Structure 1
Amino acid sequence: MLRQIKVTNFRRFDNFTINLKEGNILAGPNNCGKSSIIDSIRILVSCLKSTKRQTPEILQLEDGRIVDAHIVPEHRIGINLANSIHNYNDEDAVIEATLQDGSKGTVLLSRIRPIRFFVEQDGKRLNSASRFNAAFPLNCSIVPTLGPLEQDEHWVEDETIQKGETTRISSRHLRNVWYRKSELQFAAFAADVAQAWKGIEIQKPERQLGHPKFLEMYFSENRLDREVHWAGFGFQIWLQILTHLSRANTNNTVVIDEPDVYLHPDIQKRLLKILRERYAQFIVATHSVEIINDASTLEIVSIHPDLKNAKRIRSDEEYSRLYQYIGSSQNAELARVAKARKVIFVEGKDRKILAAFARRFGFHNLHSGAVPFVELGGFGGWQKAKHAIWAFKEILDLDVSMFCLFDKDFRSDVEVSAFETKFRTEGLNCIVLRRKEIENYLLDIGAIERAIRKRVAEKDVKSPDMQTVVGWLDEITTTMKDRVFAQVLEKTELFYKREQNRDGNGNKNDISAKFQKKWELFEGRVELSPGKELLSRLNERLQDEGIGHLTLSMILQEMKDDDLDPFFRDTLSSLDRFCE
């Protein structure tokens, strides 16, 4: 069992230590370093697994120490190490893991040297594979990045399953895994599925009738059998998480990064219960209030990159500070509402981008900042906005006007229309963007191409033409297609199920046909794709080409009046009038 993780000069951390117990829920807002801690464990475990059968070699370190160590090829790590060095300096990034028995494993990551992995145990020589492994007996199971299941899954060899079981391609082999399990093992898995998803019964995979090279896995809901590929994304993710957990032994440390991204709050709590009851230790990174609320005493660990040590939460006062930390500056913004008598509710960090658009296109009232913004957590936060206005009226005797702006996310046009209508019937101002998120309104080819050209002028590299830029964006969005469709399908089916609407619009074939029609056009892909991710991956390509990355402001500066989406212009205009 892991007792401590210490990272030095790694990612966001200059020097950071986290002491671990049986239950560890790493909490904090986005970009605080939770995933970096999880990745440090991934790197350590990858080094351990890839060298398990190898004899260590004697190595002298820069500080003069002589150790028995392994040189680990970077391709065996399975993680992009390009940004692993803190602030891109020339020092090694150091990952140190101490086990309960005091033995310590260390990984050194360098810009100029290969990856080095060594173990220290009371000064003993560890000059054989068996001694090295015995000195650092870490049993750790890490749930990899998950994705949608394959529509058509081929039967594959055992070796193929083993190679991919701890990687992001594990979703391609879920049916193969359970096809090989015994009836007893599958029964335990099916019981876990049924307990979390009431009314659903999962069936053991079988060879496809007439096409034995393919495997099928069905589940029953309301007496209707469907293949798991047709299930919602959340259910597919739950099947995969249970599959990875089934590989772990009771003495294992289980590691999961942000399961709340995929799972309904009730399923998150179910997952936490399984981790507590079945495994010696678990480490979960999250910013989910539901998981934090369900945590036991001392399980919550606050991660803050500016501190030297993680802080384990003990008192009600510390819980309050943690909630404030996760919620950023919401409380301060609420205090400004009383003065302005108006408030704009938005998702996440949308207000900064809104202000930038307002400044660029001359919406001065919106840009002035006189009306405060308060962050909500998506569609589900609309009730919070409504209750906040009620509280100002009934408790503080203040009449406060509100305007809500939501990202469309992966929701259907029908759901968006129904949502806006619900607001209007209650006399409230609300607009839902018609693209996945606000960053999608920066995805104008002309502006991007001009921004690249200006960036290239600063360097001695060839400027790509517009057709090349379009090709890059096409390549990126193509890799997103299946994942985006899985999310669109899940959101649409959930909406029709919730509204008890059983007409043809909720049929998967209809949903798929509408999706395919939109996706054929670049404008459709711009609407549906995750904008932040698309821009991030475009920047990766630009870095590879030696051009350097584009900031959002660089693109925005190159946008002309005609480049701004008409619907979004009307939205900015409505917000500007509200701020008068």
Structure 2
Amino acid sequence: MILKHLTVENFRNFESVNIDLTNRNIVFGLNDIGKSNFLSAIRFLLDRNFRRNGFMDSDFYNKDTTREIVITLKIEIADDEENDDNKKIYTMMSGAIPSGAEEIYIQLKSEYNSETLMGEPTLFWGVDLDALEGIPSSQSYYDLDKYFNVVYIDSSIQLENTFKRYSKEILKGESSLSETERKVLSTHINNLNKSVGKLSTIKTFEKELVDEYKKFKDEKNFKVSIQSEIELSNIHSKLTPYILDENSENYPTSGDGRKKILAYTLLTLENRRLEERKINIFLIEELENHLHRSMQIAMSYQIFSDELFKYLFMTTHSSLIVSQMDDVNLIKLFKDVTVKGKSFVYRVPEEYKTLKQKLNQNLAEAIYADVVLLVEGPSEKILFERILKEKCERYESYGGYILEVEGINFNEYYKVLTALGIKVIVKTDNDLKKVKGKTDCSLIGINRCQRLIGKKEKRNITGIDSTRYEKDSNYKVETKRNVFSIYPQTIKRLKDNNIYLSRVDLENDLYEVIPRIMDKLARDNHSTKNGVDYLQNAKLINMIELCTGISKQGIDKIYKHERFECLKSLVNLCCQ
């Protein structure tokens, strides 16, 4: 069973939203964009307890109760006929699904009733979206409610409430106890009830009640008895969870983090027992609240490795919570006149499996932005942040973000971010690679950019003096400048797509703009090297020193120069 698509129409802040799904879905976006409403749409469709209260007028988009609410879920069942969840679907739908069906639809519709002041949900299912049939029901209980179990976990989950609900399962009356346990427990309970009734404070209160009563009506034989009524059937309500450690045998769970983890544990334990009978669908909101970073990472490992969470919708603002994500659907909600959504099925490429956590954390930071500038590494980021401090200090609050790829292919970030509707700017080096044993160089930098926009890669350049290229750094730089100059149309097309290729690399581009400042930095540090070599010798440390001492005039020169148009592009897209 594969969740494929969700359509939400005329519901709360969604006029019309169409989202591709997979079985694990991460929902994100700005605050108040509708993430909780998105989960509520799924709850109305599949959760009987949530659905049975119906729709209020405020549940209709812009309170337009003349239009009906429609929520439609498409599910693929062709992946494996022997799949247990597929079998549940066939059993659930019985005669409503023909043999060999590849996909089904479950749909909710609701029209507002001005007399009852609510919208009554009506459910349909079938294999033809244009000819769905009503789902059999008894009052508010539909046949699909026997097979779907929606587990909603919000950010304010309380251990006490969760444990109270679960504790009923621990002592299911006398049937869960042996004969000996039942007799011993009953004796203790009876003795406890008698002891409570004999307490002096209880007796005093009984007398005070009788005296007060006789002021209203004097009855000679009137008596009051206050008794304890603890029974085996309600003893579960008196249970309290404690965490034991080596130093204390009675330490009540008190920290918010520990309470949340224990509450999640109870929920997973409870719903793991339902897997054979029902299809568990987890809806989790902002799991990270009150959790230390180590706990967030631990929860990420659990969620994305445990088969219990195979059907998941989760909202989060934490890159740590999704640090272990793989084979998930990223769903970004954004405002474009009305709220829209874009999604992208993200799988960690095989070559980055060992860097999964780094790749995922970088992505999870960037997907919340509206405009992302991709750069090679920390030197670019430090320099660009220093310049932006003068030109648009609050660029991040306006939706901008600088992401250093740190050796990970630009393409892995570019394809995810652009698919989610995020504007992406790229600044990358004009790298060349000498072909061993030949006078050829492959155009690594240009072709890296060409791939990003789906254009054909350029052929190798020829006529390279191999000996000079390997030993003469000036010759290597001039070769790169020559490559840059012979592809003006390509460079322009890349710029039109917000992809900016260095003429050589960061340091050489910078030297075209502020050579005196860079050479002076080298001399001040007693170096005989020129400004480029000095910066490249210890890139990060020396770049920090340059950015610390550079004047506003120097910054202005860099910002206005064509080699650094990427910064103007970022400012124009998010700060204007």
- The reply to whether TM is greater than 0.5 is no
So what's the TM-score if we normalise by structure 2?
A: 0.42
**Which structure is larger by alpha-carbon Rg, 1 or 2?**
2
Report the TM-score, using the length of structure 1 for normalisation: 0.41
